[in-house]
Structure 1
């Protein structure tokens, strides 16, 4: 089974390190240029593609030239009252409460939001079979928990950036770079 998870391209809120959650923030101009330089490796062409309904994900699919089926369950984690704020700001305001919540791993929940465990249950049916999924960081972390047993306590099985896809295949987890290598 081949599952390729692609995070949407950068938005202005990403650049400002703000939690986006379900806010329908589009790609920034710089983010759209970055995605336009990404390439899906040939071995993944022809796989079914599903995407979150949020603009930043559907635009990423379009810029990659992928015909994606929009799946409402692939929407980003609901950040509740923390949406639009940065973790740095939240940690300054109430460091103990933020640390307490973060220590909960899969049961982390922003005030009025959704836990990673709830998100994992929501996305699990969409992680079966060979496919490409275009979504969000929170969604990808929940998917890693579903597919690897990671409890979200401690570092994730792989670190990834915007230009990295996560490949889960035959019980292994790895990174597939989407950006073309820099010319030497």
Structure 2
């Protein structure tokens, strides 16, 4: 098994407005850049390669992380790390979706028209885990809330309906041990990312 260290991209204007982004390509805002700019990775995670969602909010996050953590290695972009495809929900206000669709808005099996259900994401998430676990070294994964929740579901058996039993802070890393069969187990939730050291 290898350790995969998952971080969620920094904040965007759509995050702040509670608009569903899905696979829409929304950049970080100033708050998001400042959040990520403070992240430092300590051993054994300070000299690993990165797997990154190709959406711009994750690419920006990875670039900032790499510029502030010079020991980190190569970046590989991977479509399996894309956020859930929200279909007709993309761009809509979350509260409006909750009002219109009720419990379906947070049902793990519900698939909005033209999009994915939360559970649909498990297939590509397991495929990523299986392929990456053969690498033999820890890896930093820059991705989205939906993917992190899919990892958590695979590790804990959560059915992806409602909210996770544990808080998964966007300001901290979630560490999982990954196996070549596509399974994971929780290694550490909410790993604190160290602040920059003063000169």
Deviation for aligned residue 1:109: 2.0
Which structure 2 residues correspond to residues 7-156 of structure 1 after superposition, within 5 A? 7-65=8-66, 66=72, 67-92=74-99, 94=100, 97-102=101-106, 104-105=107-108, 107-128=109-130, 129=133, 130-153=138-161, 155-156=163-164
Distance in 1, matches of 2:194 and 2:47, equals 20
Confirm or deny: 8 A CA contact 1:163 1:179 kept in the other structure: no
Indicate the residue corresponding to 1:171 in structure 2: 185
Distance in 2, matches of 1:155 and 1:83, equals 20
Q: How many residues align?
A: 177
Distance in 2, matches of 1:116 and 1:52, equals 17
Confirm or deny: 8 A CA contact 2:169 2:190 kept in the other structure: no
Indicate the residue corresponding to 2:181 in structure 1: none
Confirm or deny: 8 A CA contact 1:158 1:175 kept in the other structure: no
Distance in 1, matches of 2:81 and 2:16, equals 22
Sort the Cα spacing of 1:153 and 1:28 in 2 relative to 1 into closer, same or farther, 3 A.
same
The Cα RMSD (Å) is 2.2
Sort the Cα spacing of 1:8 and 1:110 in 2 relative to 1 into closer, same or farther, 3 A.
same
Unaligned ranges ≥5, structure 2: 67-71, 178-183
TM-score for the superposition, normalised by structure 2: 0.80
TM-score for the superposition, normalised by structure 1: 0.86
Sort the Cα spacing of 1:42 and 1:60 in 2 relative to 1 into closer, same or farther, 3 A.
same
SS of residue matched to 2:80: helix
Sort the Cα spacing of 1:115 and 1:100 in 2 relative to 1 into closer, same or farther, 3 A.
closer
Deviation for aligned residue 1:143: 1.8
Sort the Cα spacing of 1:121 and 1:37 in 2 relative to 1 into closer, same or farther, 3 A.
same
The answer to which of 155-164 and 113-122 deviates more is: 155-164
Deviation for aligned residue 1:157: 4.3
